[in-house]
Amino acid sequence: MSPVQQPEEDISLRIQELAGNLKIRDVMTRHVFAVTRTCTMRDVQTIMKNNAISGIPVVDSNHVVGMVSVHDIMSAFEQDWMADAVADHMTTGVRTLSEEQPLSFAMSAFSKFPYRRFPVVNRKNELVGMVTLRNINVALIQELSRQLATMETEGGRVTPPASSDSCIFYRTYRLARYDFESGGKASAELREQLRVRGVAPKTIRRAAVACYELEINIIAHSHGGTLTLYIDRDCVRITANDFGPGIPDVEQAMTEGYSTANDWIRSQGFGAGMGLPNTKRLSDEFAIQSGVDMGTMIKSIVNLNTSEELSDESK
């Protein structure tokens, strides 16, 4: 079977989907200039001028402790601080992004904060790159052009990401805040796709319920986002991706019975605080990443052809 096409896809949906699939590490600049606290403002100015950059992170043992911008250099120039150490004039409390976060987190960060670049750190909190709006735009344009070229050669068929030769169904759904009427479309389609493939009812239920919970969470708790379904021969992958507001305490959100649903959401029949713990329980693999003010990305994988399925099928 070939991947199912999505004729109604539009460009902004494609961008949202890409923003969920690409990681910050895929677009960041890896060659980063950084200075230590004892460098002077003049040293920084020289580095900026020679390399045409407008902001430099200040590091201590490769951990970001501040930023110096062109604006800081201009102030230093006016105040006669050019011989001072950067530690005296840098901006502290710098917001960093993690290289493993989806690109959508970086896009949210740029729309919410007045910064023109963010340092990117690895799991050990060490500086590994910088990301600017330009990086993001270039990456999105390149990827969209690549997809367009593929669509042209494949007669308009939308293809799933590279590395998915066994994909049999691939679709992204846009979900708007409080649009409960759209909730359930993805899970209904998933149910049907699995049914026609002869997947065992128990497995269909697990995947469809996980999908539904993630759909509703985007609608009820986020500013809006996308849900991508990807079915291959071995498993169903469900990816929910939104642009904020993020979950401040993921462990708490994963606790049974914890909910921040307001009265209106409760009046729609939701808010028992069971969606996330249930989704995790129903999934063979489950991962959640969330950044306050940036967004939430949740992945659920339900395996097909498991012993559960085989035993169901033999009934």
Ligand X SMILES: Nc1ncnc2c1ncn2[C@@H]1O[C@H](COP(=O)(O)OP(=O)(O)OP(=O)(O)O)[C@@H](O)[C@H]1O
Contacts to ligand X by CB under 6 A: 213, 217-218, 220-222, 242, 247, 253, 258-261, 270-277, 296
Closest separation in Å from C-beta 237 to ligand X: 17
Closest separation in Å from C-beta 206 to ligand X: 16
Closest separation in Å from C-beta 291 to ligand X: 11
Choose the one of ligand X, Mg ion, none that binds residue 187, judging by a C-beta under 5 to 8 angstroms depending on kind: none
- Output Rg (C-alpha) for the chain, integer angstroms: 23
Q: Which residue number, 106 or 216, has a Cβ lying nearer to Mg ion?
A: 216
Choose the one of Mg ion, ligand X, none that binds residue 17, judging by a C-beta under 5 to 8 angstroms depending on kind: none
Place of tokens 């708790």: 221
The DSSP string of 164-213 is -TTEEEEEEEEEETT-GGGTTHHHHHHHHHHHHTT--HHHHHHHHHHHHH
Q: Which residue number, 129 or 295, has a Cβ lying nearer to Mg ion?
A: 295
Choose the one of ligand X, Mg ion, none that binds residue 176, judging by a C-beta under 5 to 8 angstroms depending on kind: none
Interatomic CA distance for residues 234 and 229, integer angstroms: 14
Closest separation in Å from C-beta 193 to ligand X: 23
Q: Tell me which DSSP letter residue 55 carries.
A: E
Closest CA to 218 of 175, 186, 259, 170: 175
Closest CA to 16 of 136, 112, 113: 136
Q: Which residue number, 28 or 218, has a Cβ lying nearer to ligand X?
A: 218
Q: Which residues bind Mg ion (CB under 5 A)?
A: 217, 275
117: left (phi over 0), alpha (psi -120 to 50) or beta: beta
Residue whose C-beta lies closest to ligand X: 275
